[in-house]
Amino acid sequence: MSTSKIGFIGLGLIGGSIAKAIRKYYPDYEIAAFDKNRETLALAVQEGVIHTACSSIDDNFRGCDYIFLCAPVSYNTAYLSQLKDLLDENCILTDVGSVKTSIHREVTALGMEANFIGGHPMAGSEKSGFSNSKAHLIENAYYILTPAAGVAREKVDAYRDFVESLRALPVILDYEEHDCITGTISHLPHIIASTLVNFVRDTDTKDELMKALAAGGFKDITRIASSSPVMWQQICLKNRENISSILGNYIKTLEKARSYVDAADETALYSLFESSRDYRDSMPSSSAGPIKKQFALYCDIIDEAGGIATIATILASNNINIKNIGIVHNREFEEGVLRIEFYDGASSAKAAELLQKYRYVIYET
């Protein structure tokens, strides 16, 4: 199918990133977009990402080869009825929501199955909005496709090829299986992170020592708690049956862990940490999740003037870009005093090799 016109409903982090990726790889494609935030639309036009800024879902969306629903999941479902009469038979309608069952059921009820292929790019950031979107956000990220029962195989193949052309990795799943899987590996971790942060807040000392000392492992496992509250509220409401069941089973595992501690069961405790370590280490480091992998190393340096500047100069002179650099005050899990973060794994590996040549002691994550 010769694609020349793309429509977007919503230009937040994901919608904006997909639009930017399309603009990067298909610079001649026409892109029309609707977003409730007029400043977002103005910025998208100013940056040359879209051609047409729409104040409503109107005739500007006729003739689209693809229409991406990129609003919060409950809004995506509501927009379906407004789009129904604007689709022609060749149009592929898709979404980017983390929950698929509710929108698939609404698509079936409205008789739109011939056009619909659900989509879920497993990429994101703790930051939200079009201003934080990036053309490479979905690059090398798994992009789950959940075709409706009535959609033609040719459309599925075309969409899969299109996703691949944006440098993402398409995976085709049944929508109910998708919601069970993401409920466990995505939705549950967000709930755990958020409740853990709130638990620390509620049990902190008056002078907030927990907050001051929290770093290392705590910040790593709770980073996703900084994600959009609206998005995760909607996800929990739309996938509540799966999440409730998953939470129930997870609570049982916590109770089992508490029983090991109460009983001072050395064997069970060792097995708990050993098995989790082995399974975690078996996961491919290159797989992209909802929050991108961080590429960082830790370096021992002496506390003296110019120490950080020397390292920065060494890396810069070898064309290695630093994303972030700073002193680690809580080194519960890392031994290096200086943490250096990079944009990609190749830069991190090159930096480690280079700094070791200068006799720095390096600890890689």
The string of pLDDT tens digits covering residues 59-86 is: 999 999 999 999 988 888 889 999 999 9
Answer with the one of 158, 173, 188 that is the final residue of a domain: 173
pLDDT, mean over the chain: 89
Q: Where residue 311 falls among pLDDT bands split at 50, 70, 90?
A: very high
pLDDT at 345: 85
- pTM (two decimals): 0.73
Instruction: List Cα–Cα distances, 33 to 45, 88, 101, 172, 231, in angstroms.
Output: 10, 18, 25, 26, 20
CB 141 within 8 A of CB 122: yes
Tokens for 255, please give them: 């109770």
Same domain, 21 and 158: yes
What average pLDDT score do residues 87-106 get? 94
Same domain, 266 and 139: no
Same domain, 66 and 137: yes
Q: Work out how many domains the chain is built from and give that number.
A: 3
Contacts of 81 (CB under 8 A, 6+ apart): 110
Q: For residues 155 and 19, what is the distance between their CA atoms, to the nearest angstrom?
A: 20
What average pLDDT score do residues 80-109 get? 94
CB 327 within 8 A of CB 304: no
> Does pLDDT of 133 surpass 80?
yes
CB 189 within 8 A of CB 224: yes
Instruction: Report which listed range, 207-216, 261-270, 294-303, is most confident.
Output: 261-270
Q: Where residue 116 falls among pLDDT bands split at 50, 70, 90?
A: very high
pLDDT at 1: 45
Same domain, 150 and 190: no
Look at residues 11, 117, 21, 126 and name the one whose alpha carbon lies nearest to residue 72. Answer: 11
Same domain, 196 and 164: no
List alpha helices for the chain, DSSP H.
13-25, 38-46, 73-83, 101-109, 153-165, 175-182, 188-203, 209-213, 217-222, 229-238, 240-262, 266-281, 307-317, 345-357
Q: Which domain holds residue 115?
A: 5-173
Same domain, 160 and 42: yes
Answer with the one of 150, 173, 196 that is the final residue of a domain: 173
Same domain, 325 and 350: yes
Same domain, 131 and 151: yes
286 in a structural domain: no
Same domain, 10 and 157: yes
Share of the chain above pLDDT 90, in %: 65
Tokens for 207, please give them: 């002078």
Query: Angle of helix 73-83 relative to helix 229-238, nearest 10 degrees?
Result: 70
